[in-house]
Amino acid sequence: MAEHIAASTPVVADPTPFTLPETQRRLLRWTLYVGYAALTAGIFHGLAQALSYAGIDILGYFPALRSYYQGLTAHGVANAIIFTFSFANAFLPLMVARALSRRLDERLLWASFGTLVLGNLLVIYAVVTNKASVLYTSYAPLQAHWTYYVGLVFVVISTWLALLNMLLTWRGWKRENPGVRMPLLAHISIVSYVMWFLASLPIAVEFLFFLIPWSFGWVERTDPLLTRTLFWFTGHAIVYAWLLPAYVSWYALVPRQAGGKIVSDSLTRLVFILFLLLSIPTGFHHQYTDPGIHEGFKFVHAILTFGVFFPSLITAFSVMASLEMGGRAHGGRGLLGWIPKLPWGDPSLSAQLLAMITFVFGGITGLINASFTMNQVVHNTTWVPGHFHMTVGSAVAMTFMGVAYWMVPYLTGKKLWGRKVALASNWIYTIGLLIFARGMISAGLEGMPRRTFLAQAPYMDPDWLVGRILTGVGGTLMFVGIALFFVVIAMTVWKGKAGEAPKDIPWSETLIEPAKNGWATRLDRIGFWVIVAIILIVIAYGPFFLSYLPPNYVSPGFRIF
């Protein structure tokens, strides 16, 4: 092993430290802060949701909150959309800039930041005034005020501008480095957002051609099944738009933090290309119970869903190998003796290790969701939020928090404040999450419904009791964990010691270096893989649209909460 470790390649083009100009760093910082502001609002609503399952109603303490569904919309949009994309909009362009040692386009940075803020303001207006209690899935015929849909369109545009910035940076670098292979870190960061760009087009069609004209009253009726299908066309892939930035960190940065190396350059590129191909043509697994979609189409998506499971399995083995290398380099012996030797005292690493461990359960529950028949047992029960809090609520959120522990110091030039508080935050959040998810999962199996205000429900199954209590207790601990995260970040920005920050990002090296020729070099032809992805999408979705279109404008809008 030792000689392999000696012969390795950095995931960046040039290992000498590179820093962006302060104006660009400031914009990236503020993009992150927008996400944290959203998350702050989101976790209060999360606490209220969790307690409501335990039968405790604190909604009355929220100023301006008129219904459970208003709070649930705020929670979903703030945490799952604004927080995640604000992070990715800052993190991925920074990774590309660093990988290529090149500045970003400042006007585009401004444009991406500006559209993100504008979108946010519109969404906040709509949600706070109770004009958009449609939940983050925006299902018609529930209707929101136009500001909600237009606001989300601006948020999506901000992600497109972030991608454009990465692509232009890459193009500039390519011109000056003809024939040189793009470094791994740039490849996987760009592929992540190329996948998302492709995935976001159906929701753009849904909002621009259906929901926005309908919310303005230009058309009276809309097509619930078609808009719902367009939503999930984007909506499954959106979960990978959240996950892939976390994978960028697990592959390209975590090995260094753990003292190991990435196993293989080509394998890592392959994983991201597999996500580009397989993330999108799987949306019907959210619609197994929807009438109006032929069983055969659903079956094709079920098979492809098992396909998209594989790149995550490869990731589990690959990242585990990097960690094992790190643990053994720190003196770990025996089958599992390397695990306690990992640098658990580094809050950035420990957050991400805990994220990975919870994601094992998130992945397993995903497999059950994906199974055509087992889905009937769990669909629309609290099992599903149990699943997604162990994916987006941990694998993703905790990784983003872990990254923040080096990224905020790196971007501000200030030392991380309160390392021990950060460590406590990681553990409290994870323990809370596992208790919470255990509650939701087990009560879900007993049929406890999701998206239901149980604190005031006239029916209650005694079998749900333990699950409800665990949900409330776990959710409270999660709230405390994230609150501590905010304390750490706010104190770092406000009181962190200047000049003691990391000078570079923690980029890693790969054990098996980039291929010089052969199939693996073709993984860099992103345009080609986009075409293959489109062909797969046409195969998976084409028959449905051919059999279904034109739209059935059958339903007026309803505002019932």
- Kindly calculate the radius of gyration of the chain based on its CA atoms and give it in whole angstroms: 23
Cis before 141? omega within 30: yes
Distance CA 188, CA 186 (A): 6
* Shortest spacing between CB 281 and Cu ion, in angstroms: 11
387 is catalytic: yes
Q: Between the CA of residue 349 and those of 133, 275, 338, 417, 469, what are the distances in Å? A: 37, 24, 15, 16, 31
Q: Between the CA of residue 463 and those of 360, 389, 453, what are the distances in Å? A: 27, 22, 17
- What does 312 bind: Cu ion, ligand HAS, none (CB cut-off 5 to 8 Å by kind)? ligand HAS
Using alpha carbons only, give the angle 511, 515, 516 rounded to the nearest 5 degrees.
Answer: 135
236 is catalytic: yes
Which one from 85, 210, 240, 275 is the annotated catalytic residue? 240
The answer to whether 356 contacts ligand HAS (rule: CB under 6 A) is: yes
When binding is defined by CB under 6 A, the residue of 160, 309, 453, 548 that contacts ligand HAS is 309
Q: Residue 45 is which amino acid? A: H
Token pair 């029960």: residue: 381
Name which of 236 and 414 has its Cβ closer to Cu ion.
236
The answer to whether 323 contacts ligand HAS (rule: CB under 6 A) is: yes
Q: Using CB under 6 A, which residues numbered 137 to 166 contact ligand HAS?
A: 137
405 is catalytic: no
When binding is defined by CB under 5 A, the residue of 236, 256, 261, 298 that contacts Cu ion is 236
Name which of 27 and 77 has its Cβ closer to ligand HAS.
77
Question: Interface with ligand HAS by CB under 6 A: which range of 47-55, 57-65, 317-325, 490-498?
Answer: 317-325
Name which of 187 and 387 has its Cβ closer to ligand HAS.
387
Name which of 233 and 338 has its Cβ closer to Cu ion.
233
Distance CA 29, CA 336 (A): 39
Q: Taken in order 442, 53, 378, 309, is the CA torsion positive or negative? A: negative
Nearest to residue 369, comparing CAs of 434, 435, 301, 315? 301
By residue count, the chain amounts to 561
* Shortest spacing between CB 363 and ligand HAS, in angstroms: 2
* Shortest spacing between CB 285 and ligand HAS, in angstroms: 3
Token pair 């609150």: residue: 483
- What does 313 bind: ligand HAS, Cu ion, none (CB cut-off 5 to 8 Å by kind)? ligand HAS
Q: Which two tokens stand for residue 373?
A: 């028949």
240 is catalytic: yes
Question: Interface with Cu ion by CB under 5 A: which range of 111-119, 229-237, 313-321, 519-527?
Answer: 229-237
Distance CA 274, CA 306 (A): 12
- What does 243 bind: Cu ion, ligand HAS, none (CB cut-off 5 to 8 Å by kind)? ligand HAS
The answer to whether 242 contacts ligand HAS (rule: CB under 6 A) is: yes
* Shortest spacing between CB 48 and ligand HAS, in angstroms: 18
* Shortest spacing between CB 41 and ligand HAS, in angstroms: 19
45-60 b/e (C-beta count within 10 Å ≥ 16 → b):
bbbbbbbbbbeeeebe
DSSP class of residue 449? B
Q: Residue 255 is which amino acid? A: P
Phi, psi torsion values for 381, nearest 5 degrees = -105, 175
Question: Interface with ligand HAS by CB under 6 A: which range of 37-45, 91-99, 305-313, 422-430?
Answer: 305-313
Using alpha carbons only, give the angle 343, 347, 353 rounded to the nearest 5 degrees.
Answer: 65
Which one from 181, 187, 301, 389 is the annotated catalytic residue? 389
The answer to whether 127 contacts ligand HAS (rule: CB under 6 A) is: no
Angle between helices 465-495 and 419-445 (to 10 degrees): 160
Question: Interface with Cu ion by CB under 5 A: which range of 51-59, 234-242, 306-314, 440-448?
Answer: 234-242
451 is catalytic: yes
DSSP class of residue 131? S
Question: Interface with ligand HAS by CB under 6 A: which range of 44-52, 303-311, 477-485, 499-507?
Answer: 303-311
* Binding residues vs Cu ion (CB under 5 A): 236
* Binding residues vs ligand HAS (CB under 6 A): 137, 239, 242-243, 285-286, 305, 308-309, 312-313, 315-316, 319-320, 323, 339, 353, 356-357, 359-360, 363, 366-367, 369-370, 375, 379, 384, 387-388, 391-392, 396
Residues tagged active-site = 236, 240, 387-389, 450-451
